[in-house]
Structure 1
Amino acid sequence: MNTSPSWPLTLYYDGACPLCAREIALLRRRAAAEQLQLVDISSGTFDATALGLSHQAMQERLHARFADGQWVTGLDATLWSWRAAGLGRWAAPLTWRPLRPLLELGYRLFCALRPHLEWLPHPDGARRCHGSSSCSTAPGRDRPD
């Protein structure tokens, strides 16, 4: 990755994921729009094919794209999104070569478990509710209030 990125970075995240949504809330509070754009891939209007990707691929691994069109995925997408939000020192361990294989393994494990974490409380709480009788916990799944 070039050391002088082309901002802004567009981060494609799963807003239905409770842990992901917590991280995005932190990034949203810290990052300027000139540095970081956030796109929720769980919204009904998102079209992964317009980016040349499948929705499944975007669900399986975090994706981000710089203004010049360069993609970063996985841990690198996390690293650059945190840098864009001014939190680079907290993400610095992601750049440590000896630690990287262990972090990659942990990331792959998280990606495999993430779809099963929908039972966790979502930070958006009631804002995720539609109407007065149901709240969306994941795309296509509703539960009563």
Structure 2
Amino acid sequence: MYSRWPLTRHFDGSYPWCAREVAFLRRYSTAAKLILIDIHGDDFDSIPQGLSIEQLRSCFHARFANDHWVTGLDASLWSGRAAGVGMWPAPLAWRPLCPLLSVLYRVFCRLRPSLALLPHPEGMATLQR
């Protein structure tokens, strides 16, 4: 089913929020279970992924080794599980919380461009979109 490792998580490293989450995941993950790909990198090509850059930026995307894609909160949940970060992703799977978390995630996606103004954890300048 889902857990065909490795999970490939796509992220936009130019955004501070994404960079912080990925830095956290990198501390725990191994390449055998989680591969992290920066869609902002110069060598990234979205065409083989079957998605446009705009689609990849619109919400979190991750793909299992069996080509099953998960998006949004499910991508965060499975990224945390693949990295083995403990219990922090568990609430993302709690059915009573899912409707509220889905609404909050949609709000986050709308606010995401504004979050580019936050300081980047690596101290690099973020790009204005």
TM-score by length of 1: 0.84
Q: Deviations over 1:34-67 (max 9, x none)?
A: 0100000111221212211111111001100011
Structure with more contact order per residue of length (Cα contacts < 8 Å, sep ≥ 6): 2
Contact 1:16–1:139 (CA<8 Å) still a contact in 2? no
Could you tell me which runs of 5 or more consecutive residues in structure 2 were left unpaired when the two chains were aligned.
none
Aligned residues: 129
Task: Provide the aligned C-alpha RMSD in A.
Answer: 1.4
1:75-114 correspondence runs (5 A): 75-114=73-112
Kindly indicate which of the two structures has a greater share of residues assigned to strand. Answer: 1
65, 68, 72: which one aligns with 2:66: 68
TM-aligned CA distance change 1:82 to 1:91, over 3 Å: same
1-side partners of 2:12 and 2:128: how far apart?
A: 10
The structure-2 alpha-carbon separation of the partners of 1:99 and 1:57, relative to structure 1 and needing over 3 Å to count, comes to same
**Greater C-alpha radius of gyration:** 1
1:64-94 C-alpha deviation (Å, 9 max, x unpaired): 0011111111000000000011124111111
After TM superposition, the structure 1 stretch with the greater mean CA deviation from structure 2, 82-91 or 31-40, is 82-91
% same residue = 54
In 2, Cα distance between the equivalents of 1:53 and 1:72?
Answer: 13
Q: Which runs of 5+ in 1 are unaligned?
A: 129-135, 141-145
